[in-house]
Structure formats: structure tokens, C-alpha cells
Amino acid sequence: MEDDLIEAVVLLPEKLFYNTGAPGIVMILNREKPKERKGKITFINASKEYCQHPQVKRLNQLAPENIERIVRAYRNFEDVEGLSRVVNLEEIKGNDYNLNVSLYVFPEDEKEEIDLSKELEEFRAIEKEENKLVSRAIEYIEKILSSGSE
């Protein structure tokens, strides 16, 4: 770090390698960093850049489009929401020299589309059913109480 040799750190997806589910990393070192990259490190969170291995059920693999996206993030040397971030060495020093990619780049979560009118309709149906059940339970309790007092 002090010699400014680290150009990028890439977090790979889990289950890429046999016998381990742990994700790997690629650390790119460069003794001759271009001027615009000096004092900075590109962090690339490629943990979501994979597809299922066609023959081995428990393994993932990098498809050409995954590799292309990772390489593009490295070459472009820019922040891409959920994928890459260029961080200056001062921020890294402030984090006790921690090079954990997920500290600097959080992958985008898939956003679920919610149909509020449909959800409200379902909620009202559940509420109606709940009210019926509560009324029925009260009736049973009242019958028990009235039969016990006779």
C-alpha cells in the first residue's frame, strides 16, 4: 500500500473453485500505475457476476458477459453503482488498510416490483378471514362459559 502498487482488488463470486465455497479475489499489482490511478485503488465487487456451471451443480462459473463487465469496470476506472468504486488511499488508511471489497462496494440487490393495490386487496381478504375466525372463537368460548354456569 505505501508503495502504491495495488491497482485493483476484484471480489469473485463464491463456488468458482472446486473444494471450496469461499469467494476468491484477484489483486492487480502494477509498478507503473498510470498517473490518474496513483494514490487510488479500484474495488470491483463481482460477487453477483456468475452463472450456474452446466455440468457441476454446486459450482458457478464466469460467463463471457460476466468477464466483460468485470474487465470494463477495471479499464474504465470509474464508479459503477453496485459493481465498482475508485477509492483514494486516505480512505483506505482510515479503514485501517482494510482491502475488503464489500467495505467499499455493495452489490445491487434485485428490486422487487410491488403492486400496492393487489397487496392491499390481499391484506383486506386476510383481515376479513381473521375477523371471521376471531368471531367464531368468541362464540365457542361463550358457549363453553354459558354451559359451565348451568
Q: Say yes or no: 129 and 58 in one domain.
A: no
Contacts of 41 by beta carbon, 8 Å cutoff, 6+ apart = 6, 7, 8, 9, 86, 87, 89, 92, 99
| Cα dihedral across residues 122, 125, 131, 136: positive or negative | negative
Residues 77 and 40 in one domain: yes
- 32-66 per-position pLDDT tens digit: 999 999 999 999 998 888 777 777 777 888 888 98
Long-range contacts of 60-63 (CB under 8 A, 24+ apart): 60/13, 60/14, 60/15, 60/16, 61/16, 62/12, 62/13, 62/16
Indicate if 97 and 64 belong to the same structural domain. Answer: yes
Same domain, 49 and 96: yes
Q: How many domains does the chain have?
A: 2
pLDDT recorded at residue 112: 65
The torsion defined by the Cα of 79, 83, 88 and 90, in degrees rounded to 10, comes to 140
Percent of the chain residues past pLDDT 70, beyond the cut: 95
In a domain, 80, yes or no: yes
Average pLDDT along the chain: 88
Do both 91 and 47 map to the same domain?
Answer: yes
Which pLDDT does position 108 carry in this prediction?
A: 64
CA-to-CA separations, 21 to 12, 14, 18, 34, 105, in angstroms, rounded:
11, 5, 8, 35, 21
* 72 in the same domain as 97: yes
pLDDT of residue 61: 82
Number of H helices, E strands in the chain: 4, 6
pLDDT tens string 82-107:
899 999 999 999 999 999 999 999 87
Domain carrying residue 34: 6-104
Residues 71 and 17 in one domain: yes
10 lies in the same domain as 84: yes
pLDDT of residue 77: 93
Phi/psi class of residue 48: alpha, beta or left (left: φ > 0; alpha: ψ in -120 to 50)? alpha
- Residue 56 in any domain: the answer is yes
Residue 28 pLDDT grade (very low, low, confident, very high; cuts 50, 70, 90): very high
Residue 27 has pLDDT above 80, yes or no: yes
Q: Given pLDDT bands bounded at 50, 70 and 90, which one contains residue 2?
A: confident
C-alpha grid cell, residue 34: 498510470
pLDDT at 109 (0 to 100): 61
Cell 451443480 identifies what position?
57
The whole-number pLDDT of residue 97 equals 94
Domain membership of residue 1 (yes or no) is no
Say whether pLDDT at 119 is over 70: yes
